[in-house]
Structure 1
Amino acid sequence: MPRFTPDTAIKTASAATDELLCEAAGLRWLAAAEEAGGIRIAHVIEAARDRLVEERIKTGAPTRAAARRIGAALARMHAAGAPWWGCPPPDTPRGARGIGRALTPWAESGAAKSWGAFFAEYRIAYYVRILRDEGTFGPRETALFDRVCARLAAGDFDAPQPALVCDAGTCCARLHGDLWAGNVFYLADTDARTGGALIDPMAYGGHAETDLAMLQLFGYPYLDDVLAGYDEVSPLADGWRERVGLHQLAPLLLHCVLFGGGYVPETLDTARQYR
């Protein structure tokens, strides 16, 4: 857990890992979109392998107007783009293979030629192998995800990025990567341009619908207004609502890895929709 001062949040970790440096790289990468109207990001003050000091965000009460600004600002952050599917932020330490306790993986340039191929290998099959090897998934569960991955790799679920990402001329959106409600703050100043701010990224290049699906997984105040604000400035591709569960499979599988079998029934029910 971070330690707080009035103006900072301070995280510490073992110097044997690059996790805090990876997080700092993600914060800086996302913050680079602020000038183009991207959502406010907790700014990095100091970063080392064993210590990360970042701005402490002063939070406020949710409002519908702020929610719409959050949605619009998220759309502009996504439109800042990324050079390939699964790419890490540019300041990521060389040799780092991922971030987080389950080592959510990045990908090498050109490793995946499409979103479906990337999502199948680096966000579904990766976690399924862990769950199979530890005995949480048996042959039947593994076969279910094999079918989902085959459809993903075949392009059955590939869809255009939201309009602003497409207009920017990049195939990949610049994702926060862990966009659940606890990482998306409403700001104390309800007149603030972006309405909210983000902390704790696991940033990479992917499909914008993945971030939005994560925000919907556990609920968020005025969620419908966030989505409306997003769609207003960067219209989402047809059928995006039907793909929400597919994008949610990645965080659901990660929760199975981190927290055990309590998430397994929901994860399997969701996967069956896309087999």
Structure 2
Amino acid sequence: MRSTEDLGSSHGWRLSRGVTEDGREVFAKTGGASELFASEAAGLRWLGEAIAVPEVIDVAGDRLVLSWVEAERPTPEAAERFGRDLARLHRAGAPAFGAPWPGFIAELPMDNTPADDWPEFYAAQRVLPFVRQARLSSGDVRLIEQAVDRFGEVAGPPEPPARIHGDLWSGNVLWSAGSGVLIDPAAHGGHRETDLAMLALFGVAYQDRVFGAYREESPLADGWRGRVPLHQLHPLLVHVVLYGEAYRSGLMAAVERVLAL
């Protein structure tokens, strides 16, 4: 690189902004040595077939280099365009639930073995593995297991696998070029309501505009709002594993709401 600027760290990786020898502005994550960067690169390329994402310039075991995205302030118009773009991404579909590359969310591995049934996939490959890592009380675990047993009843009408970001909180949406640009994916074939529930978990700019435009482009099945806590179980469990007790109350509130469906 011709020049670099240190942007700090995240989940143990160093983040930097740089300029390549040929004058391109880039963003780089470096550090460690695992399949994680290759997984992220594969997900970005796959999502990029349908929606704006940073270009993968270089990837290796210890680094991921992407084109730089110049961020701007969100606007209502950008939120609506993002909602339509997200609907088109989901419609691009996937061969199965899961993906042909190893899964990660933050630094945590996820089982991406392809599956045909979403409630079973969500239970066995997204929720239960993180229950085992979360150091919860036996009472909490029993309630979560009761909720898991209801997934088939409360998941809504079956839908084909959607092409989803998989970790779509607001920090993974960069507002640029009049829409949202997706970064840091945990991309896989999943349920499209999962991405919407993740956006709702921590809020996103002009959320009503995003969801309204999404529904105009791709209507959602009846009862989708009631299923939001179902789709939030996995990200809340991830937060308990990563950050501990502070997220337990939010997790168990979502469990109670799933049990009440």
Measured after TM superposition, the shift of residue 100 of structure 1 is 3.6
Q: Which residue of 1 aligns with 2:130?
A: 127
**Alignment partners' CA distance in 1, 2:104 and 2:78:** 33
| Contact 1:10/1:51 (8 A) holds in 2 | yes
1:140 aligns with 2:129: no
1:131-190 deviation digits (Å, cap 9, x = unpaired): 2xxxx31221111011111111x34323344xxxxxxxxx10011111111111111x33
User: Residue 19 in 1 paired to residue 36 in 2?
Assistant: yes
Partners of 2:186 and 2:103 in 1: how far apart?
12
Q: 8 Å contact 1:174–1:203 — kept in the other structure?
A: yes
Q: Which whole-Å CA distance do the structure 2 matches of 1:159 and 1:215 have between them?
A: 21
1:157 to 133, 142, 155: 155
Q: Is the 8 A contact 1:75 1:230 kept in 2?
A: yes
Identify which of 229, 235, 255 aligns with 2:213.
229
Superposed CA offset, 1:185-224 (max 9, x none):
111x33xxxx121111111110000011101111111011
The match for 1:116 among 115, 119, 134 is 119
Tell me which of 85, 88, 98 is aligned to 1:73: 85
Selected match of 1:32 from 49, 72, 84: 49
Gapped runs of 5+ residues in structure 2? Answer: 1-8, 10-14, 20-24
Confirm or deny: 8 A CA contact 2:156 2:223 kept in the other structure: no
Deviation (angstroms), 1:120: 1.2
- For residues 105 and 207 of structure 2, the distance between their equivalents in structure 1, rounded to whole angstroms, comes to 27
Map 1:182-201; keep pairs closer than 5 Å: 182-187=171-176, 189-190=177-178, 195-201=179-185
* Residue identity opposite 2:169 in structure 1: W
Closer, same or farther: CA 223–97 of 1 in aligned 2, 3 Å = closer
Equivalence for 1:175: 164
> Matched residues in 1 for 2:239 and 2:49: separation?
30
Quote the residue 1:4 is aligned against. Answer: 17
Unmatched segments (≥5 aa) in structure 1: 34-38, 162-170
| Percent identity for Structure 1 against Structure 2 | 42
> Which string of whole-angstrom CA distances, capped at 9 and with x for unpartnered residues, describes residues 83-118 of structure 1?
111224xxx3xxx464542212212x34xx421111
> Counterparts of 1:139 and 1:99 in 2: how far apart (Å)?
25
Number of residue equivalences = 241
Cα pair 1:116 1:158 within 8 Å, conserved: no
Residues 121, 149 of structure 1: 8 Å contact kept: no
Q: What is the distance in 2 between the residues matched to 1:238 and 1:264?
A: 29
> Is residue 29–residue 63 contact of structure 2 (8 Å, CA) maintained in 1?
yes
Sort the Cα spacing of 1:23 and 1:226 in 2 relative to 1 into closer, same or farther, 3 A.
same
The change in CA–CA distance for 1:122 and 1:24 in structure 2 (over 3 A counts) is same
User: 1:85·1:114 contact (CA, 8 Å) conserved in 2?
Assistant: yes
User: CA 1:85–1:70 in 2, change beyond 3 Å: closer, same or farther?
Assistant: same
2:199 is matched with 215
Paired AA for residue 12 in structure 1: T
Separation in 2, partners of 1:142, 1:47: 39
Deviations 1:19-46 (A, max 9, x none): 111110110010011xxxxx31111111
Higher relative contact order (CA 8 A, sep 6+): 1
Scaled by the length of structure 2, what TM-score is found?
A: 0.88
- Contact preservation (8 Å) 2:105, 2:167: no
Contact 1:22 1:99 in 2 (8 A): no
Partner-residue secondary structure (3-state), 1:40: coil
